[in-house]
Amino acid sequence: MPVAGEAALPVWAYDAQLPGPVMRFKRGEWVDVDLHNRLPEATTVHWHGIRLPNAMDGVPHLTQPPVASGERFHYRFRLPDAGTYWYHPHLGTAEQLERGLAGALVVDDDSPPPVDDDLVWLLDDWRLDAQGRIAEDFYRFHDVAHAGRLGQRITVNGRVDTELPLRVGQRVRLRLINAANARIFALQPEAGVDAWLIGRDGMPTPAALVWDAPLLLGPGMRADVVIDARQAGRFAIQQLGGREAGALATVVVSGSGQAAARAAPEPSGFEPPPAPDLASAAVHTLRLGGGARSRDGWPEDSEADRQARQQRRQAGAKEADPAWTINGVAHTGDHHAHHAPAFGVTQGQSVRLIFENPTAWWHPLHLHGHHMRVLARNGTPLADATAWRDTVLLSPGDRVEVAFVADNPGRWLIHCHVLEHHAGGMGTTFEVAG
């Protein structure tokens, strides 16, 4: 099997590749994928960030039945937007993703900025046990109630010690995808290369931004960056977050002389999602709760719920105990359909969502089926509020306002992409009536 580190590591993989194969398309093309589940347990595939029909979104029980071991499911949908997306399971997610199931889906721009190469870097971390195998302590309550499952081994495309060979004067585009269960990467290139941020969560930024400060990438989030090699040498792309801080990868530039500084890459032309109308928008608040050091205590857990969970576990289900809530309700396990939606809107309605995070922890909140504009953080309007996201990172105490047009009918998930937080209850749904 593929390798994460110095020794071969048994993993679960799409098409026996780690990460899964890069699926590459043009905008407007159809994805046609036959999932044949040869895992020992049920799964689904979620196409993270793609504005697709609800029935293709891969959320078990909510948008499709789980695909049992040995069974098949056919995914077919059109790609409305260019950008960097990814696919991963949405059932038993904390374990299945950690075991290696994730891959990139790239939709090429109609008019991309000219580059010498265009590469995908899927970032992950792995918690290994003393024997160097994937530690089997999935859904450990300490992880669920704290920062999620962090691993001690950080990889790029399943490998350690990644090097990016370039020649002086070359320009390369990197599509960074955070596929870790819980790690928030804080990335910054060492001085000596010029770097730009040109896209987030698939959508281009309105203009290229100089990348010379830590770029925070929470689980599920993507960043498209451009690197200009200006002189020979070795330049780290540093990972500054957490105990495992160090070089994520090294840009190795060969050649001689010094290349002149290049102009910022032109932003890609794109058709943005429909702009929300703030004046007429329906306003809803989603307040996060729970977690270790919470002031409100643990979520309600009735004797009946505990017994039902116990029975599901005896039947083989792997499930976390409740630790988190949204608006007071914990959606544990993969059973979102059992709960009423947090709110409903009619198709085409603009929605202003206010996320409140009084918890002591960070949460990357992922909106399914739509892209949102992040308008303000703690009352301060965002400088790049015209940019689009499908995942927004909240630090402890944050209050973040977003807006989007609910133009995609169906029942959609909003959840924390720290997979252990989601398993422990931090998810909810909303309904767009078509």
In the complex, least distance from residue 416 CB atom to Cu ion, rounded to whole angstroms: 3
In the complex, least distance from residue 259 CB atom to Cu ion, rounded to whole angstroms: 42
Residue 55 backbone phi and psi in degrees, to 5: -65, -10
In the complex, least distance from residue 426 CB atom to Cu ion, rounded to whole angstroms: 5
Residues present in the chain in total = 434
By CB under 5 A, how many residues form the interface with Cu ion?
4
Contact status: 419 vs Cu ion (CB under 5 A)? no
Is residue 286 within 8 Å of 326, Cβ to Cβ? yes
Of 411 and 421, which has the nearer Cβ to Cu ion? 421
Of 285 and 395, which has the nearer Cβ to Cu ion? 395
Contact status: 418 vs Cu ion (CB under 5 A)? yes
Q: Which stretch binds Cu ion (CB under 5 A): 20-28, 56-64, 75-83, 416-424?
A: 416-424
Contact status: 46 vs Cu ion (CB under 5 A)? no
Q: Which residues pair with 346 in a beta bridge?
A: 433
Of 93 and 350, which has the nearer Cβ to Cu ion? 93
Is residue 326 within 8 Å of 287, Cβ to Cβ? yes
In the complex, least distance from residue 295 CB atom to Cu ion, rounded to whole angstroms: 17
In the complex, least distance from residue 105 CB atom to Cu ion, rounded to whole angstroms: 24
The binder of Cu ion chosen from 226, 345, 416, 419 (CB under 5 A) = 416
Alpha helices for 37-137 (secondary structure H) = 93-98
Contact status: 144 vs Cu ion (CB under 5 A)? no
Of 221 and 418, which has the nearer Cβ to Cu ion? 418
Residue 423 backbone phi and psi in degrees, to 5: -60, -35
Contact status: 101 vs Cu ion (CB under 5 A)? no
Q: Which stretch binds Cu ion (CB under 5 A): 196-204, 240-248, 381-389, 409-417?
A: 409-417
Contact status: 342 vs Cu ion (CB under 5 A)? no
Of 177 and 418, which has the nearer Cβ to Cu ion? 418
Contact status: 145 vs Cu ion (CB under 5 A)? no
Using DSSP, state whether 1 is helix, strand or coil: coil
Name the helix (H) or strand (E) containing 228: strand 222-229
Using DSSP, state whether 98 is helix, strand or coil: helix
Residues with Cβ within 8 Å of 78's Cβ and at least 6 positions away in sequence, in order, are 28, 29, 30, 31, 52
Of 92 and 410, which has the nearer Cβ to Cu ion? 92
The binder of Cu ion chosen from 99, 173, 363, 368 (CB under 5 A) = 363
> Per residue in 79-95, is it b (16+ CB within 10 Å) or e — as a string?
bebbbbbbbbbbbbbbb
> Per residue in 268-306, is it b (16+ CB within 10 Å) or e — as a string?
bebeebeebeeeebeeeebbbbbbeebeeebbeeeeeee
Contact status: 253 vs Cu ion (CB under 5 A)? no
Residue 11 backbone phi and psi in degrees, to 5: -130, 170
Of 42 and 330, which has the nearer Cβ to Cu ion? 330
| The pair of three-digit structure tokens given for residue 111, joined into one six-digit string | 């008019």
Q: Which stretch binds Cu ion (CB under 5 A): 60-68, 94-102, 190-198, 357-365?
A: 357-365
Contact status: 197 vs Cu ion (CB under 5 A)? no
CA 403, chain centre distance (Å) = 19
Q: Which stretch binds Cu ion (CB under 5 A): 12-20, 83-91, 314-322, 408-416?
A: 408-416
The binder of Cu ion chosen from 237, 421, 424, 429 (CB under 5 A) = 421
Q: Which of 85, 94, 146, 149 is nearest to 368 (CA)?
A: 85
Residue 183 backbone phi and psi in degrees, to 5: -75, 135
In the complex, least distance from residue 417 CB atom to Cu ion, rounded to whole angstroms: 7
Using DSSP, state whether 187 is helix, strand or coil: strand
Contact status: 11 vs Cu ion (CB under 5 A)? no
In the complex, least distance from residue 357 CB atom to Cu ion, rounded to whole angstroms: 9
Contact status: 377 vs Cu ion (CB under 5 A)? no
340 vs 346: CA distance, rounded Å: 16
Which spans of this chain sit near Cu ion (rule: CB under 5 A)? Answer: 363, 416, 418, 421
